[in-house]
Amino acid sequence: VDLLLLIFSRLYILDITMNCNSTASHSFKYVAGAQNAWDMLSEEQSQKHITTGSGDLNGILGGGIHCKEVTEIGGVPGIGKTQLGIQLAINVQIPVDYGGLGGKAIYIDTEGSFMVERVYQIAEGCISDIMEYFPCHHDKSSSGQENLQPESFLAGIYYFRICSYTEQIAVINYLEKFLGEHKDVRIVIIDSVTFHFRQDFDDLALRTRVLCGLSLKLMKLSKSYNLAVVLLNQVTTKFTEGSFQLTLALGDSWSHSCTNRLILYWKGNERCAYLDKSPSLPVASTPYAVTSKGVRDAGSSSCKRVRVM
């Protein structure tokens, strides 16, 4: 089995190399499609963001999670990475009439941490907030009332359960076809991107090349289909300056594979988020909370460590 996995991985690397060579030989096709910087800025400013559920967290992210970008979210176990991933899968479906994108989500689960009961609970919390913030609008919109049901939000999440890194590679390669058939998808969440590559991959050089190919594919998909890609990441220890320190998994080379990097950490009994990397936003941090309704501002709950389903 290990030999077959190794062969599969090397064939995948060969396929990436051939695609790169093919792209280079036909690069002239893309010259005519160049976009000027003013158009890019106008397009970026007109983009809506996917709310995280926390106004403070949205603030340091420039309004929320950005479409056409890859955002990495890392942190220690129990800090709320999966909670935030599920929250984004729900919030991306907020109807346009209520300030959302009205899209759907793809959730790729490599760890088995996706709990549908918790998804239902967060969907109810999202609907409760919409009804609170838009009471008059909600009463007038009969079509909106039909969509504001937990069942509708759950039906808008396409779920993939991944049990090996070969399956993960296959699903990411399949995404382009799937997105072509489901053009209303506005976010792809991988929870977590590192799990199987840390467990099953012994050839570190090969692992780096495979992950590089996957990250390039995800970046291309985010641009081509105007969607956000969110990669949840684990932490590991790194020996630095005579002591062991916590750092995000897969090393420094992987840190270049995302547009934005958000690190979640504990500050006493309070959950905090730190924007470690962004091409357009300053480094910043803010507290947040995980409540029974989902991810919210830290001040919205008196209990910092909330036990969820």
155-205: pLDDT as tens digits: 999 999 999 989 999 999 999 999 999 999 999 999 988 888 877 677 878
List strands edge to edge, sheet with 104-109.
157-161, 104-109, 185-191, 228-233, 70-75, 260-267, 270-277, 284-291, 294-297
Q: 234 or 177, which is more confident?
A: 177
Indicate the pLDDT class of residue 129, thresholds 50, 70 and 90. very high
Is 50 exceeded by the pLDDT of residue 27? no
Is 80 exceeded by the pLDDT of residue 230? yes
Least confident of 24-28, 185-189, 210-214, 245-249: 24-28
Segment 84-91 shows an average pLDDT of 98
Least confident of 23-37, 133-147, 221-235: 23-37
Rg of the chain over Cα atoms, rounded to whole angstroms, equals 20
pLDDT of residue 127: 96
Q: What is the pTM of this model?
A: 0.83
Indicate the pLDDT class of residue 125, thresholds 50, 70 and 90. very high
β-pairing, 157-161 vs 185-191, is unpaired
Residue with structure tokens 């093919």?
22
Query: What is the widest separation between alpha-carbon atoms in the chain?
Result: 64
pLDDT of residue 263: 93
Q: Which of 57, 44, 47 is nearest to 103 (CA)?
A: 47
Segment 276-305 shows an average pLDDT of 85
Is 70 exceeded by the pLDDT of residue 80? yes
Dig out the tokens for 78 from the structure.
């129990």
Residue with structure tokens 């359960």?
161
Q: 155 or 248, which is more confident?
A: 155
Is 60 exceeded by the pLDDT of residue 24? no
pLDDT of residue 23: 47
Indicate the pLDDT class of residue 212, thresholds 50, 70 and 90. confident
pLDDT of residue 28: 45
CA–CA separation, 111 and 126 (whole Å) = 25
Segment 195-223 shows an average pLDDT of 85
How far lies 14's CA from each of 5, 6, 36, 250, in Å? Answer: 14, 12, 34, 22
pLDDT of residue 243: 63
Dig out the tokens for 239 from the structure.
């020996």
pLDDT tens profile 40-53: 777 777 788 999 99
47-134+148-297 adopts what CATH topology? Rossmann fold (3.40.50)
Q: Tell me 271's DSSP state.
A: E
